[in-house]
């Protein structure tokens, strides 16, 4: 196998381009010892809320904690069920499980690969509290379809936006659609910290206040604990780094869209199936996932050419060992299972050079 010449994602290019700015931001936090929460984390919360277009953003230590706190604030607990797509990163379901509630996995549509509102409706029971949709790969799910099901049955809609910072559904930012939007700033996400980070966006002050207390050891006033809480605060250094990155996010998003559109238009090999992007959505191409019948052959072919590809995700949530006790079996979510067996993620990151994009397209088109 030859050496990797095109990486799936390369974060060093962003760091090299903005090194001084990042370093200065970090240095200020150190000088002021604003390490845990504090001025820079709070300033980022305000700027991120404005970016998403909601009154409140509650910064936390990672995206998984964001999902956990969102579920707690929405009153999810033991005996409850929350509907989640089978095709997602496992942390979506963790957020539900941590509260003692049960995630109920539903299939994706065969073309958008996002949660299928019809499947969600079939999964509603007397114990269902809400639907936690995921804007997977940066492609907004059918929010309108999900909202209709939720309204009919009196459920909440929450959004897992960990892969979709800046994506739009009918002109509205993800994270501003449902009751809560949960974001991750894990390195490699469209907006990322230098370590771990996350945020929950919401419209209601009572939710914001509750999550702020929960992330801060269950107290509003120091050393007076009104409920069992968590240490889920966002670090000051991450807040400071994220404020720098947030300025660049629109530029990065524009570049991701350019690359995504080039792939969509120029990869014409019939052996490669693309995700559908409905017209009422504006995706942000966090991951460029395609389906290929002979997936393993394609992976070997790309590796041989020095192009790194990977899989999102090789095992759908309902078939993970961690959830074996829920009793799901192969065949329960056929579209998600098909995707797990045939998905390949192509290189895509904002700093990709034209010659690299050209090469990925040419290799895809030459695959036989
Ligand atoms: C990354 C991710 C998460 C978890 O975020 P962390 O910051 O890694 O905890 C949750 N859901 C989805 C869809 C993700 O991609």
Q: For 334-345, how does the pLDDT look when each residue is reduced to its tens digit (9 = 90+)?
A: 999 999 999 999
**What's residue 170's pLDDT?**
98
Give per-residue pLDDT as tens, 239-261.
999 999 999 999 999 999 999 99
Numbers of helices and strands, H then E, in the chain = 11, 15
Q: What's the angle, vertex CA 172, arms to CA 87 and CA 22, rounded to 5? A: 80
| Residue 20, pLDDT above cutoff 70 | yes
Whether residue 134 has its Cβ less than 6 Å from ligand 1: yes
Mutate to test the pocket of ligand 1, among 89, 285, 310 (most ligand atoms within 8 A of CB): 89
Q: Read off the pLDDT of residues 191-205 as tens digits, 9 standing for 90 and up.
A: 999 999 999 999 999
Ligand 1 pocket check for 234: Cβ under 6 Å? no
Q: 183 in ligand 1 pocket by Cβ < 6 Å?
A: no
> pLDDT of 286-322, one tens digit each?
999 999 999 999 999 999 999 999 999 999 999 999 9
Which of 63, 70, 175, 336 has most ligand 1 atoms within 8 Å of its beta carbon, as the pocket-test mutant? Answer: 63
| Residue 94 alpha carbon to ligand 1 centre in Å | 10
Question: What Rg, from alpha-carbon coordinates, does the chain have?
Answer: 20
Q: Which residue has the higher pLDDT, 314 or 1?
A: 314
pLDDT tier, 167 (very low <50, low <70, confident <90, very high otherwise)? very high
Note the pTM of the prediction, 2 decimals.
0.98
Sheet of 281-282, strand order: 172-173, 168-169, 281-282
Q: Which residues contact 368 (CB under 8 A, 6 or more apart)?
A: 271
**Any atom of ligand 1 within 6 Å of the Cβ of 208:** no
Distance 45 CA to ligand 1 centre (A): 18
Distance from the alpha carbon of residue 345 to the mean position of ligand 1, in angstroms: 17
Tens digits of per-residue pLDDT, 146-155? 999 999 999 9
Identify the band that residue 4 occupies on the pLDDT scale cut at 50, 70 and 90: confident
Quote the ligand 1 centre to 92 CA distance (angstroms).
7
pLDDT over 70 at 363, yes or no: yes
pLDDT band at 268 (very low <50, low <70, confident <90, very high): very high
Binned at pLDDT 50, 70 and 90, residue 160 comes out as very high
Burial status of residue 365 (CB atoms within 10 A of its CB: 0-12, 13-18, 19 or more):
middle
Q: Is the CB of 198 under 6 A from ligand 1?
A: yes
The pLDDT of residue 136 is above 80? yes
For 93-103, what is the mean pLDDT? 98
- Measured at the CA of 236, the angle between CA 15 and CA 217, to 5 degrees, comes to 140
Is residue 1's pLDDT more than 90?
A: no
* Angle (CA) 230 155 101, round 5°: 40
* Structural element, H or E, at residue 104: strand 102-106
Q: Which pLDDT score is estimated for 2?
A: 59
The token pair at 62 is 């990672």
Q: Determine if ligand 1 sits within 6 Å of the CB of residue 93.
A: no
Q: How far is the CA of 304 from the centre of ligand 1 (A)?
A: 30
Whether 357 has a pLDDT exceeding 60, the answer reads yes
Measured by CA distance, the residue closest to atom 6 of ligand 1 is 63
């Amino acid at each position: 196998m030859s050496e990797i010449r095109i990486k799936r994602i390369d974060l060093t290019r962003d760091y090299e381009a903005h090194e001084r700015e990042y370093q200065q931001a970090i240095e200020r936090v150190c000088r002021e010892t604003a390490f845990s929460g504090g001025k820079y984390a709070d300033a980022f919360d305000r700027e991120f809320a404005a970016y998403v277009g909601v009154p409140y953003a509650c910064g936390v230590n990672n995206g998984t904690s964001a999902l956990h706190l969102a579920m707690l604030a929405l009153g999810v607990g033991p005996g409850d069920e929350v509907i989640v797509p089978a095709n997602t990163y496992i942390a979506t379901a963790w957020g539900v499980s941590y509260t003692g509630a049960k995630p109920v996995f539903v299939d994706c549509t065969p073309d958008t690969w996002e949660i299928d509102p019809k499947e969600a409706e079939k999964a509603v029971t007397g114990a269902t509290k809400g639907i936690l949709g995921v804007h997977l790969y940066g492609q907004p799910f059918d929010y309108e379809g999900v909202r209709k099901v939720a309204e009919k049955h009196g459920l909440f809609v929450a959004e897992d936006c960990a892969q979709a910072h800046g994506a739009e559904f009918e002109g509205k930012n993800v994270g501003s659609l449902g009751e809560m939007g949960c974001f991750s700033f894990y390195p490699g996400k469209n907006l990322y910290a230098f370590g771990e980070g996350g945020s929950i966006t919401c419209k209601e002050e009572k939710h914001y206040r509750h999550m702020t207390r929960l992330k801060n050891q269950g107290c509003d006033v120091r050393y007076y604990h009104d409920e069992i809480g968590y240490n889920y605060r966002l670090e000051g250094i991450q807040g400071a780094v994220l404020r720098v990155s947030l300025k660049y996010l629109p530029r990065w998003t524009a570049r991701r869209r350019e690359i995504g559109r080039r792939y969509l238009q120029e990869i014409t090999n019939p052996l490669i199936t693309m995700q559908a992007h409905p017209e009422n959505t504006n995706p942000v191409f966090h991951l460029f996932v395609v389906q290929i019948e002979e997936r393993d052959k394609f992976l070997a072919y790309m590796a041989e050419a020095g192009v790194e590809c990977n899989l999102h995700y090789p095992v759908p949530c309902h078939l993970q060992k961690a959830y074996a006790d829920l009793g799901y079996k192969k065949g329960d979510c056929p579209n998600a299972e098909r995707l797990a067996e045939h998905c390949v993620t192509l290189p895509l990151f904002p700093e990709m050079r034209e010659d690299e994009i050209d090469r990925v397209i040419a290799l895809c088109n030459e695959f036989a």
